[in-house]
Structure 1
Amino acid sequence: MKFHYDFPIKKMDSPIAHHHRILMMGSCFTENIGQYLRNHSFQILENPNGILFNPASVADAILSYINKDEVKEEDLFQLNETWHSWKFHSRYSGVSKEEALEKMNRNIAEAHQFLKTASYIIVTLGSAWVYELTDAANGKLGTMVANNHKAPASWFHRRLLSAEAVKSMLLPIITALRQFNPILQIVFTISPVRHLREGVIENNRSKAVLIQSVHDLTNEYEHLYYFPSYELVIDDLRDYRFYAEDLVHPNYQATQYVWEKFVDACIDDSSAQLFKTIREIKLAYQHKPFNASTQQHQQFLQKYATVTQRLSEQYPYLQLQTELDYFRTGIRSREQAD
């Protein structure tokens, strides 16, 4: 008896390997998959503007990375004793203009440099609903915002983008990305996070718009790839058991399932073969000894320092320096104590 509908996923023609650099953009589900990639020592840069839900904000952010467009003082506004930008998540706001500008412009510069040599950009779109500033807001009338920063509801007007409008926003970005970095491969996916605050019917309308627009683009351009995150949770698992208590966000089991499917479809086999050793190193790094000065723990550290060093020498692009430093520091601390 089958309790879920398992469907085939088209494999990526040029799968992702550890030596590739990956820029990840979009909704909070981006950060779920990003964490898995980071845990397996891939080179990633994740959401330089913070979480972005709608395609207009994603497109605007990507263009700012390509052009290295700095945020200026006049782009900021003050609310609740904090300076914000309508283009950035609140995590990059500041109690002073200088603090906010430093955070935002540092991230834009980092994204600009990263994107130059990135092999992939993974874009997860969350919602086709956009919020535009009204004349009651602190900002230019009609501006599409990436984050509401807990501003009053009267500051925003909500509207649903059409599939054609989404395509018209994404198409110039696809062209600009390829001109900026000709080797870049673009991966689209739709977030399975359900935006129920918009309403059940409204959420489904929104997802339909995103699905239609992205599939139109991927059918037209060979260097685009679609990974079905949304379909895996909504149509394959299809059960509230796979959602958190809020019935909005996929839970650990669901994200783990999507990750496993992502590995099968999108990760190079030689890189996937390293996962077991990498996970072992990561678990050793997280190990908390009862007594760090025991001979047994020193042998433990020495073992994993050796394993990590050998793996890093063989694959110098693996992101394992933090773990290696930890193992070595523990050994040195014992030697200095002796």
Structure 2
Amino acid sequence: MKFHAEFDVQKLAMPIHHQHKIMLIGSCFTENIGEKLINAGFRVHQNPNGILFNPVSVAEAIINIISKKEYTPADLFFLNESWHSWQFHSRFSGVTADEATEKMNASIVNAHQFLQTADYLIVTLGSAWVYTLTAEAANAKPGTVAANNHKAPAAWFQKKLMDTTQVITVLGTMLDRLGAFNKNIKVIFTISPVRHLREGVINNNRSKAALISAVHYLVEQLPQLYYFPAYELVIDDLRDYRFYAEDLVHPNHAATEYVWTKLKEACMTAETIDLIEQIEEIQIARRHVSSNPKSQQHQTFLRKYATLTQQLLKVHPYLPLHHVLDYFTNTIND
């Protein structure tokens, strides 16, 4: 008896391997997959503006990274005892304007350098609903799309649903700039399976439909684009509330693991997956906390994984595991 409707996921034409550099941008589901990639030993840079949900904010973030936009205190606004930007998540806010701009500009510079030589950009879109600023909003042009509301008053925003054509236009402009900036980069689009129920069930589905239609149109036009069906895997394959957290909005650990498994199968070779398993074993060992760290048993454990890490780095020197090796070697009692 079948309890879920599995479907074949189209293979990525040029599979991802550990020598590739991967940038991720978009919704909170981006960070779930980003952490999986980091733990699996990939060189990753994720969400340089923080979590972003709508296509306009994602596109603006990429374009500002490409142009290496420099933020000044004049770009910020003060609310609830902190300085914020309408284009950044609140994790980049600061008690002073200088503190906030320093964090934002450092993130832009790092992302610019990484994106310039990145092999893949994974874009996860969450919602086609955008919140534009009204005349009452602090330090902003009316009509500007806010990436984050920063708990500002509701009167500062007006919401509207982007249609498919608008999404195509916004993302298409971003892709043109990206292709001119990095001619070798390939883009993987996904739609977040997180349900934006603040807009209501019907409006959430309207939003996802606009995103899916727009992305598929672009994928059909441009050969360097690929669609990975994270949304469909949770909504149509698993299709059960037991794969959601208690809020019935966010996919739970089991759902994320399932999507991660499908991503590996579709976008990586068997050799890469085997290497991931070796790296994940080392990462688990790195996180192990011994009740008796000076015991002979634990010291043997550390030596074993120091040796395994050294052997892996000898064969794959590009792996970002040198800090893990340092941990094992520095913790061994000579």
TM-score, normalised on structure 2?
0.98
The 5-angstrom pairing of residues 57-206 of structure 1 reads 57-138=57-138, 139-206=140-207
Q: Residues of 1 paired with 2:289 and 2:274: CA distance?
A: 27
Q: Residues of 2 paired with 1:279 and 1:212: CA distance?
A: 36
After superposing the two structures, state which structure 1 stretch, 171-180 or 218-227, moved more.
171-180
Deviations 1:271-295 (CA, angstroms, capped at 9, x unpaired)? 1111221121111111111111122
Q: Residues of 2 paired with 1:16 and 1:276: CA distance?
A: 15
Q: Which residue of 2 aligns with 1:56?
A: 56
- What's the CA shift for 1:312? 1.0
One-letter amino acid of the counterpart of residue 144, structure 2: T
Deviations 1:221-266 (CA, angstroms, capped at 9, x unpaired)? 1110000000000011111010000000000110100000000001
After superposing the two structures, state which structure 1 stretch, 315-324 or 211-220, moved more.
315-324
Q: Residues of 1 paired with 2:137 and 2:227: CA distance?
A: 37
SS of corresponding position for 1:197: helix
- What's the CA shift for 1:82? 0.1
Deviations 1:58-83 (CA, angstroms, capped at 9, x unpaired)? 00000011110111211100000100
Alignment pair present for 1:247 and 2:248: yes
Q: Residues of 1 paired with 2:22 and 2:127: CA distance?
A: 22
- What's the CA shift for 1:269? 2.5
After superposing the two structures, state which structure 1 stretch, 87-96 or 169-178, moved more.
169-178
Q: Which residue of 2 aligns with 1:268?
A: 269
Q: Which residue of 1 aligns with 2:40?
A: 40
Q: Residues of 2 paired with 1:78 and 1:292: CA distance?
A: 48
SS of corresponding position for 2:320: coil
SS of corresponding position for 1:234: helix
Q: Residues of 1 paired with 2:255 and 2:167: CA distance?
A: 28
- What's the CA shift for 1:268? 2.8
Q: Residues of 1 paired with 2:277 and 2:17: CA distance?
A: 15
Deviations 1:111-168 (CA, angstroms, capped at 9, x unpaired)? 0000111000000000000000111110221110000000011110000001000110
One-letter amino acid of the counterpart of residue 251, structure 1: N
Q: Residues of 2 paired with 1:93 and 1:317: CA distance?
A: 34
Long gaps (5+) in structure 1: none
Q: Which residue of 1 aligns with 2:211?
A: 210
- What's the CA shift for 1:296? 1.8
SS of corresponding position for 1:69: coil
Q: Which residue of 2 aligns with 1:225?
A: 226
After superposing the two structures, state which structure 1 stretch, 50-59 or 167-176, moved more.
167-176
Q: Which residue of 1 aligns with 2:3?
A: 3
Q: Which residue of 2 aligns with 1:324?
A: 325
After superposing the two structures, state which structure 1 stretch, 92-101 or 275-284, moved more.
275-284
Q: Which residue of 1 aligns with 2:259?
A: 258
SS of corresponding position for 2:194: coil
One-letter amino acid of the counterpart of residue 247, structure 2: D
**RMSD, aligned α-carbons:** 0.8
Q: Residues of 2 paired with 1:12 and 1:202: CA distance?
A: 31
One-letter amino acid of the counterpart of residue 214, structure 1: V
Q: Which residue of 1 aligns with 2:14?
A: 14
Deviations 1:1-22 (CA, angstroms, capped at 9, x unpaired)? 1111111111000010000000
- What's the CA shift for 1:323? 1.3
One-letter amino acid of the counterpart of residue 18, structure 2: H
Q: Residues of 1 paired with 2:71 and 2:199: CA distance?
A: 30
One-letter amino acid of the counterpart of residue 193, structure 2: P
User: What is the aligned residue count?
Assistant: 333
SS of corresponding position for 2:180: helix
- What's the CA shift for 1:322? 2.2
- Aligned identity (percent) is 58
One-letter amino acid of the counterpart of residue 28, structure 2: C
SS of corresponding position for 2:45: strand
After superposing the two structures, state which structure 1 stretch, 172-181 or 220-229, moved more.
172-181
